[in-house]
Amino acid sequence: MTDAAFVTTGWLGTGVVVAAYGLMIRFRHHRVRRRTHPTTGGAS
Amino acid sequence: MNTSGIVRIVRIVRIALSVVVVVSMSALVLLGLVVAPPDRFQGDAQRLMYLHVPAAWVAYLAFATTSLMSALYLWHRTRRRRWDRLAAASAELGVLFTVLTLALGSLWGRPVWGVWWTWDARLITTTVLLFLYVGYLAIRRIPASEEVRARRNAIAALVAFVDVPVVHFSVVWWRTLHQQATVVTPELDPQIEGAMAAALLVGVLAFTALFFRLLWARYELAVHVDRLDADVVADAVRRRRATATDSVLQEVSA
């Protein structure tokens, strides 16, 4: 692997991990809100 | 100020924080991958440092936040459920950023040191830190009453934090392969300048803003989950009482 390949893996990997964590929180938040506010479909 | 005013201010602050994250992250990509020159000895692999160092900083910040919130919970005058929730949210983020720190360090180590992993004091103490906080998150799942669990969590968080200064000073206390501090040196004489220093600084700023934005979202989720759990318990108690009342009435009528 070249230096560029290590750098690309690191930067893209960090972006993917952080984005996945953020989306996971958002998805769980939406699911919980849907259960606590069933009539509004999760909307506040 | 009325409730709607506070809600509006909170919403504005949240949007502003999100904007800071997007802008600073964009600046980091530009500075770290385009503007900053390759290192004289490490070449382009040095560009991983613009993520590795901020990730390590945020891991420290997250665990320090967990400790502060835990101390606030343990002190009887400031004991609130919200400190326990914030401690948990921050610890989860600390674990995430510690994993990133180790993974990015490993990716950097392969081209520069020639190995993915070595039994170096900094690497070992960081891995121990990761396991300590994974353990903390596991302890949080042990069933107990709310108060007992929160107090137990707070003590575990304070014990785990002892490893943070050990990680930081490991490169000073032991002879290590890991490089010494570059910015916050014992002589307070930064060994980095120009575009490289700017990229590192912006990286720290961007990751700090990202940490607080994620902490906010994770805390809100914890509040909603606790509310849902309370609703589920209240509903179960209500149904149990209704069933018990029905059976008593049936016995009386019989």
> What ipTM was predicted for this assembly?
0.86
Q: pLDDT tens digit string along A7-27?
A: 999 999 999 999 999 999 999
Chain B residue with Cα closest to A19: B214
Which residue from A11, A25, A29 is facing B51, i.e. has the nearest CB? A11
How far apart are the CA of A40 and the nearest CA of chain B, in angstroms? 16
CB contact under 8 A, A10 and B231: no
Ramachandran angles phi, psi of B103, nearest 5° = -65, -45
Can you give the pLDDT of all 254 residues of chain B as single tens digits? Answer: 788 888 899 999 999 999 999 999 999 999 999 999 998 889 999 999 999 999 999 999 999 999 999 999 999 999 999 999 999 999 999 999 999 999 999 999 999 999 999 999 999 999 999 999 999 999 999 998 889 999 999 999 999 999 999 999 999 898 888 888 777 776 767 777 789 999 999 999 999 999 999 999 999 999 999 888 888 888 888 888 888 888 888 888 87
CB pairs below 8 Å between A and B: how many?
Answer: 70
The C-alpha atoms of residue B129 and residue B148 are separated, in whole angstroms, by: 24
pLDDT of residue A40: 56
Distances (CA, A) of B73 to B143, B153, B203: 19, 10, 32
Q: What is the pTM of this model?
A: 0.89
Residues 6 or more apart in contact with residue B38 via CB below 8 angstroms: B44, B46, B47
CB contact under 8 A, B221 and A21: no
Hey, how many other C-beta atoms are within 10 angstroms of the C-beta on B73? Answer: 25
The C-alpha atoms of residue B240 and residue B245 are separated, in whole angstroms, by: 9
For residue B252, with 0-12 CB atoms within 10 Å meaning exposed, 13-18 middle and 19 or more buried, which class applies?
A: exposed
Residue A41 has pLDDT above 70, yes or no: no
**Chain A residues within an 8 Å CB radius of B108:** 6, 10
The C-alpha atoms of residue B176 and residue B168 are separated, in whole angstroms, by: 12
Judge whether B202 and B27 are in contact, CB under 8 Å: yes
For residue B219, with 0-12 CB atoms within 10 Å meaning exposed, 13-18 middle and 19 or more buried, which class applies?
A: middle
